[in-house]
Amino acid sequence: MDDPYARLDYRKLIPWPKRLEREWSFLRPLLEAAPSRRILDLGCGTGEHARFLADRGFDVVGVDASPGMIQAAIESGEQAGVRYVLGDLADVRSLVEGTFGAAICLGNTLPHLHDDEAVSQFFKGLRGLLAPPGPFILQLLNYERIAATGQRSLPLTFIPDAAGEVIFLRLLEPQPDGTVVFVPATLSYRPEEDPPLQVLGARTVRHRGWKRPELEELLEQAGFRHRLLHGTVADVPYVTLESTDLVIVSR
Ligand SMILES: C[S@@+](CC[C@H](N)C(=O)[O-])C[C@H]1O[C@@H](n2cnc3c(N)ncnc32)[C@H](O)[C@@H]1O
């Protein structure tokens, strides 16, 4: 596949320790109560969740379709309890063996899958891998809100570096066909220089702006009968036109 993340150092662009700790208060009770400590991290990127969970005694298999991301994950260090698999989520059923107690798919990974057919195959494959009542925790942006408000960007992230800061900018261009052109870009910010800002890297990625009813239907068809909705990776309710994220915990 095209590897839109190969040019961005995802490890540095996300304030990982803060994010992982914030998400952990939500994930912990779900994962600790799972029927087994084998966890699937779907769209694992550079493996931060996988390593964080392995540190807490889970046995994690991370799946990602980007050779660049998997390579970066491996280079972050071998660790007991973590394994990475290169492959497409639509093929998850044939990529891993055995059953799992829970699965996470975080960081707006699902919108990279555009077709109903691919997502249906992903959800059905996953259903067969999860030991009941193991949860599938899915997080994506709330595209219903983005479409309704015409939101054009995600909040900026500022990352200190040796001579100033790197700014992580993410532009959104909702399209009439329900896709969203997503432009992640990094800018070098040197307040003392002229010009103070320079583009380090930028890419265009097309997302499908999956909406809650579409996903609930595909989950139901795949056999996920129980679903709880949250407005982000925290114990807050989902409000269609207000929540930043759509988080679905399905069983
Ligand atoms: C924005 S990153 C999210 C990474 C991480 N899960 C997080 O929470 O930050 C999205 C990831 O999904 C992966 N991805 C995109 N399409 C995929 C597919 N069809 N199958 C597997 N992984 C995919 C990308 O390579 C990328 O690593």
Q: What is the pLDDT of residues 241-251, one digit of tens each?
A: 999 999 999 99
Any atom of ligand 1 within 6 Å of the Cβ of 88: yes
CA of 28 to the centre of ligand 1 (A): 22
What is the Cα–Cα distance from 66 to 64, expressed in whole angstroms? 6
Which residue's CA lies nearest to atom 15 of ligand 1?
Answer: 112
What is the Cα–Cα distance from 206 to 209, expressed in whole angstroms? 9
CA of 43 to the centre of ligand 1 (A): 4
Asked whether 13 and 168 are in contact (CB, 8 A), the reply is: yes
pLDDT < 50 positions in the chain: none
pLDDT of residue 224: 98
pLDDT tens-digit readout, 137-178: 999 999 999 999 999 999 999 999 888 899 999 999 999 999
Any atom of ligand 1 within 6 Å of the Cβ of 113: yes
pLDDT of residue 228: 98
What is the Cα–Cα distance from 205 to 244, expressed in whole angstroms? 20
CA of 177 to the centre of ligand 1 (A): 22
Any atom of ligand 1 within 6 Å of the Cβ of 121: no
217: helix, coil or strand?
A: helix
pLDDT of residue 101: 98
94: helix, coil or strand?
A: helix
- Residue listed under structure tokens 């994950």: 73
- Residue listed under structure tokens 């993410």: 170
What is the Cα–Cα distance from 196 to 194, expressed in whole angstroms? 5
| Total count of residues recorded for the chain | 251
- Residue listed under structure tokens 């002229």: 194
Phi–psi pair at 195, nearest 5 degrees: -80, 155
Any atom of ligand 1 within 6 Å of the Cβ of 66: yes
pLDDT of residue 93: 98
pLDDT of residue 5: 58
pLDDT of residue 241: 97
Which residue's CA lies nearest to atom 17 of ligand 1?
Answer: 65
Q: Beta partners for 185?
A: 169, 202
- Residue listed under structure tokens 């915990």: 249
Any atom of ligand 1 within 6 Å of the Cβ of 107: yes
Any atom of ligand 1 within 6 Å of the Cβ of 165: no
pTM equals 0.95
